[in-house]
Amino acid sequence: MVVSILLLLLGLVLLVKGADWLVDGASVLAKKKNVSDLAIGLTIVAFGTSAPELVVNAVAASGNYPDIVFGNVIGSNNFNLFIILGISGLIIPLSVQSSTVWKEIPFSLVAAIGLFFLANAYLFSGNPLLSRWDGVILLVCFVAFLYYVATQLKSDPQAEQVEVKDYSNQKIWMLILVGLAGLVGGGKLVVDNAVSMAQSLGVSEKIIGLTIVAAGTSLPELATSVVAAIRKNADIAIGNIVGSNIFNLLLILGVSSVIRPLEFNISFNTDLYILGAGTVFLFVAMFTGKRYRLDRWEALMLLTTYLLYTGYLVGLEN
């Protein structure tokens, strides 16, 4: 048990550092090949914070652990929304642009509702499933979202700036290869030891996926949003979370279900209800108090709700 915990923690470290190294190397390589800041930001940098979830889910889907797949994505989204925004909003009230309120937040809600209907479409046949075709639908929606983000960035030249370091070709390829190795090795360690822990503790893979794995793979988002809040950059703090949630639902579950059709445990519906309710709360919070701002008391409500719900989930297992 202790060994499983240590190996899982090692896997999480490898995932986070692997994503960091890969993004560093790939960004410099792209810049040297005269790829635009916009393209780098939309692809390599955006992929970086979602890489841990993507790799874990690809490994879990390949190994036929659907509860880890859904638990990681839905759990990560709830962790992002309730814990990371809760902590960031306690540091500083988070004011955002109107486009985030009227477009990105509703888009993330639509993505969650879309997943709910796709995953439950086969319910009446007695076999809830996220099929390969469902995965294709999610990926098409993801491409549409990327197109929207690209048009937004083109209209805001300041948003296109991506900080890229200057490395030698040898260091670039070392970072890329070591980063990829870290992601693959870390993902394997996380999935294998999460399953082992679930078996040792006598709890379901769903609970492990929703809590430990989800929190661990959300570390890049946590670091990004908390640092942004400390630096009083609220747009990045909220935009990072909303964007990551959309990436998780559309890209990561899309890729996962294309790899292997995923049996859907309908108990995840409750977690989707929580995610939907939290997203609606975030939208409504933009109009209470100061317009387009998440106030500290609202951030505290998000944080408290997550802690109570997680306690309830763990209590059900005991």
Per-residue pLDDT tens digits of the chain, which is 318 residues long: 788 888 888 988 888 888 788 878 887 887 777 766 556 655 666 677 778 888 889 989 999 999 999 999 999 999 999 999 999 999 999 888 888 889 889 999 999 999 999 999 876 666 789 999 999 999 999 999 888 877 876 666 555 455 556 788 888 889 888 888 888 888 888 888 888 887 787 888 888 888 888 888 887 788 878 877 887 877 777 877 888 899 999 999 999 999 999 999 999 999 999 999 999 999 999 998 788 899 999 999 999 999 999 888 877 766
Angle among Cα 114, 115, 119 to the nearest 5 degrees reads 120
71 within 8 A of 209, measured Cβ to Cβ: yes
- Say if residues 96 and 237 touch (Cβ distance below 8 Å): no
Q: Are 302 and 89 in contact (CB under 8 A)?
A: yes
Domain boundaries, the chain: 2-317
**Two tokens at 99?**
């486009």
pLDDT at 160: 47
d(CA 12, CA 76): 14
| The pLDDT of residue 204 | 84
Q: Rounded to an integer, what distance in angstroms lies between the CA atom of residue 82 and that of residue 122?
A: 30
- 230-268 per-position pLDDT tens digit: 878 777 778 778 888 999 999 999 999 999 999 999 999
Q: Two tokens at 302?
A: 């998000």
Q: What is the dihedral of CA 276, 277, 282, 288, to 10 degrees?
A: 150
The answer to whether the CB of 41 falls within 8 A of the CB of 157 is no
pTM equals 0.85
Q: What is the Cα–Cα distance from 13 to 286, expressed in whole angstroms?
A: 35
Task: Report residue 43 as tokens.
Answer: 């692809």
Question: Per CATH, is 2-317 categorized as 1.20.1420.30?
Answer: yes
Residue 263's DSSP bridge partners are 129
- 209 residue type, one letter: G
Tell me 262's DSSP state: E
| CA 248 – CA 81 distance, rounded (Å) | 12
Q: Measured in whole angstroms, how far is the alpha carbon of residue 306 from the centre of its chain?
A: 16
The vertex-244 CA angle with 58 and 36, nearest 5°, equals 95
